[in-house]
Amino acid sequence: MNIASNFAGILELRAGPGAAEHVRAEGIAPADVACIPAAAGGPKGLALIPTDKLLYREWLRDTSPIELIGASVGAWRMAALAQADPVAALDRLAHTYVRDQNYPAKPTPDDVAQACWRLATSVLDGGTLRVRPGVSLTIVTSRARGVLSDSESMVAFARAALSNTVSRSALATHLERVLFTVGPTFLSPPFDEFGSQVVPLQASNAEAALVASGSIPMVCSPVRGIAGAPPGAYWDGALVDYHLQLPYQRLTRGGARRRVVLYPHFNDYVTPGWLDKHLPWRRKSRNHPWLEDVLLVAPSKSFLATLPNGKLPDRKDFYRYGQDHASRIRDWERAISECERFADALLAWLQRPDPGLLKPL
């Protein structure tokens, strides 16, 4: 069997040097996986729901303890994957995300916020949070501080964006990282200027935390008054941690043997913060020490070309399709269905990994 010919047309595999060496020396087994991150990215995250379901059903059941961490749509995916019945939760997420966002021509921030609340309720099956044993869950949010704590205006966010062009640490004067967690998290104690405020995730705040993690400024109203959390306005976790470039070595090297981070992603690169995607010098992190033990897998360009519109679903589709909700729903559901081929290819590679397909991350 020529593994390279089977997978090269579907998978883009990238690995830090530690993860690549692990695969070359030992292959990869479920017990090797310490963490699964899930990036923000709006509808693009829908493409990875078939992968989430397949990994649970075929590869990650009854394994060693694992940490799941996500921001925005990634938080919704990981909250679903963490539950006692993750396949049902992921199905609810996909159905609600695709079919219950039929906005008017000019939606208000409150319209979007209401849709986010419906999504959170759906993911949690009416608000119930049941994380299965052996799983730790972290939901990333961004809490406003400084000028942003007093204003939700475009001018205030423009100032934050300008600070970010200077440095990520300058953005930290406007935003604080707040983590809602079940179980331990490798992100505490703090490791950068954004901090790592940890709040226990429980029934009284689970929906609000999920909504906050996906509340895009100027598009969605912020979340306030989250039970057990510091007061203030909470926004999308992607503002601080877009693609989750985090100190994974705290987790992968903390035990008797090195483990890896398995990162299903929709890009073959990692961008630190949402505002960094507009900065060419920061958009594609390469050779970052925090990514040394990360094994990242993404859809290849040739695979993406087979999807409706030649791409993954994205937020621009709300404008592309306008009020033609039926066509958007049709094409998004077709894209999700097609991405089952990506999930199957990843599973096959994990079961018989070929290190020759790995490229540097």
The domains of the chain are located at 10-350
How far, in Å, CA of 297 to CA of 259, rounded? 17
pTM for this model (two decimals): 0.95
d(CA 174, CA 193): 11
Q: What's the pLDDT score for residue 24?
A: 96
Conformation bin of residue 208: beta by default, left when phi > 0, alpha when psi is -120 to 50: alpha
Instruction: Provide the pLDDT for residue 6.
Output: 61
Q: Find residue 179's DSSP bridge partners.
A: 140, 198
Residue 60, Cα to own-chain centre: how many angstroms? Answer: 18
DSSP E strands, 230-329:
234-236, 260-264, 294-299
Count of CB atoms situated within 10 Å of the CB of 205:
21
Low-confidence residues in the chain, pLDDT < 50: 1-4
220/73 Cα distance (integer angstroms): 14
Ordered DSSP codes for 181-226: EES--TT-S--STT--EEEE--TTTHHHHHHHHT--TTTS--B---
What does residue 204 show for φ and ψ, rounded to 5 degrees? -75, -15
Which residues pair with residue 14 across a beta bridge? 296, 359
Whether 136 contacts 34, CB under 8 Å: no
